[in-house]
Chains A and B, each alone.
Chain A
Amino acid sequence: MLRFFRRVPELTLLILLAGSSYAAMAIFSNLPSTEVLSGRFIVGIIVASFLFSVAIAIVAVIAGIGGGVLFTPIMMGFTSIDTLIIRATGLVVAMFSGLISTGPFMRRGLSNVRIVFFCAVPISVGAMAGAYSAVVLSAYMGQRGDAIVRLLLGLILVFIAAMFIVGGAKSEYPEVKHVDRFSQRVALGGAYWEESLQKRIDYLATRSLLGLFLFLAVGFTGGFFGLGGGWAVVPVLNMVMLVPLKVSAACSGVLLAIGNAVAIWPYILYGSLVALFVVPWMLGQVIGGIMGAYILARIKAGFVRKVLIVLIILTSIKLLTRGAEGLFGFDIPVV
């Protein structure tokens, strides 16, 4: 453990600075209490947000999903914070773990820069279209339309989780039996060093044109729901384009950062991000993201698959229940 912190001095520096910062806040902060919150409680919220964010980031980076999939449902379910603030902060949460894991993933060749740029444009374009479509659909169909789409999305996620379960270990290092002509031309392939096996893994993506259109759809659903797209990027890369699971998870993290970078600027420029509330979440993502990136390089691909299955199932349950609640007008407690 100590060797790890010596190898990544910037992580050690960030942890020390964060610790000093929050200690200084706890000791020297003299915030006046309001009717709603005391000064001490505010500092407590900040520290708790930071620690929770670190945990979310580690799990999210390992699974290749954005932390928004965990952050947004929990915050919407257990707090009365305004949904726009949650959505905007969720984008930061989804983005920063991907941003910080970009360095370690690219250095190790775990993330393929050609795959990233191949997918970044359709995801970004799809995200913008999805965000605007959400507004239009809401205007025409209101809550009912939103509930129907969430139900459908939840069902799709259940199907994807089932594919991962049924697919078993084959999804960790998919066998590519045939590479189509388009895929051969774009040549989305490469190699990386699998630490857990101590061997080189070569790969070449197939069905790239189908993947291109699916990434448009992934971006669209991400922009529509504000959930980010990591939960869908990994299945498209791994199960459709047959990219190894760890590479899929790594590329997903990097892609989320690019896709969310487009979506997040309007929230910054229109005051929807409140800096003091967002910063502890951002810091947690950065610190947890670095840890998660190094863990992903070393753990077995099978563990990644299991984490992903659990997270997809949890997300699908949340989507299905929210869809059912919106469509049939009842409230399902707890979930």
Chain B
Amino acid sequence: MTVPGNDGMPQTDATVPPEQTRPPVALSGIIYGECVYWLTIVGSIVAMVGATIAMLGVKNYLDPSYVFSAIWEGKSTTDIWEGAVGQIPRGHWYLPRLGTGDGLAMFGLALGVFSVIPGMIGAALVMLKRKDTVFGVLALVAAVLCITACAGLIQVPE
């Protein structure tokens, strides 16, 4: 089997050094990966707690029986929200409702989605500090796109 060497050109097995060591991992990658990984886990636990609270009927914004029945019947999100609370929510509706099960569940979900933003910013800062300017800027551009979407500046196509 031939494998590409560091110069991008193929090398035969005979030229591959016999002592192959595990290559070092980029710090920017570790920062991005760990940030996303742990925030997603925290978000999942929060969402799980929220869903449990909702299903045990402790305190909810929406009635779980109505919501699941309406979804199963094929009702649209407009009909579901209007039937449940009389209006469709806009913006980060869950933030003032963290005391409810479904509000907390949505917060956990949103936390997972949000995790890429601090991850990309952290990775970008490391890349820029190490003079990997092009990729640092690309990471910041991707972060700005996500922040724009999070701020509600991108509308959903209907």
Contact = CB atoms under 8 A, between A and B. Distances in A.
Contacts of A112: 26, 29
Nearest to A43: B55
Interface residues of A, number: 104
A117 B48 contact: no
A84 B67 contact: no
Contact of A103 (B1, B33, B109, B117): B33
A118 interface: yes
B44 A282 contact: yes
Contacts of B34: 103, 106-107
B48 A189 contact: no
Given A28-B56, A85-B71, A117-B135, A269 B41 contact: no
Interface of A: 10, 14, 17-18, 21, 24-25, 28-37, 39, 42-43, 45-46, 79-82, 84-85, 92, 95-96, 99-100, 102-109, 111-114, 116-118, 120-121, 124-125, 128, 131-132, 134-135, 173-177, 179, 183-184, 186, 189-193, 198-204, 206, 257-258, 261-280, 282-283, 286
Nearest to B85: A271
12 contacts: A14-B41, A85-B77, A107-B30, A114-B135, A117-B138, A124-B145, A132-B157, A173-B1, A275-B50, A276-B105, A277-B71, A286-B44
A17 B48 contact: yes
Select the residue from A80, A114, A278 with max chain B CB neighbours within 10 A. Answer: A114
Given A82-B77, A103-B38, A176-B4, A37 B68 contact: yes
Interface of B: 1-10, 16, 20-26, 28-30, 32-34, 36-38, 40-41, 44-45, 47-52, 54-57, 62, 64-69, 71-77, 80-81, 88-94, 102-103, 105-106, 108-110, 112-113, 115-117, 119-120, 123, 132, 134-135, 138-139, 141-142, 145-146, 148-150, 152, 154-158
Given A202-B5, A204-B6, A275-B105, A261 B113 contact: yes
- The SS class assigned to the B binding surface is helix
Contact of A109 (B6, B29, B113, B158): B29
Contacts of A266: 149, 152, 154-156
Nearest to B16: A199
A117 B142 contact: yes
Contacts of A191: 6, 23
Contacts of B6: 189, 191, 202, 204
Given A103-B37, A199-B20, A34 B2 contact: no
Nearest to B61: A275
| Closest A-B pairs by Cβ, 6 of them | A103-B37, A106-B33, A204-B8, A113-B29, A266-B156, A191-B23
A136 to B, nearest CB: 9
A271 B89 contact: yes
A252 to B, nearest CB: 15
Given A14-B41, A84-B77, A265-B150, A21 B52 contact: yes
A106 B40 CA distance: 15
A275 B56 contact: no
Given A264-B113, A277-B68, A192 B41 contact: no
A25 B157 contact: no
A99 B115 contact: yes
Given A106-B25, A173-B1, A39 B65 contact: yes
A135 to B, nearest CB: 4
Contact of B69 (A37, A135, A268): A37
Given A102-B119, A258-B116, A266-B154, 13 more contacts: A14-B45, A18-B48, A21-B51, A24-B52, A29-B56, A106-B33, A117-B139, A125-B145, A132-B157, A173-B1, A200-B20, A262-B148, A279-B109
Given A109-B23, A109-B25, A124 B142 contact: yes
A117 B64 CA distance: 40
Contacts of B141: 121
Contact of A82 (B62, B76, B134, B139): B76
Select the residue from A132, A190, A274 with max chain B CB neighbours within 10 A. Answer: A274
Contacts of A283: 44, 47-48
B5 to A, nearest CB: 5
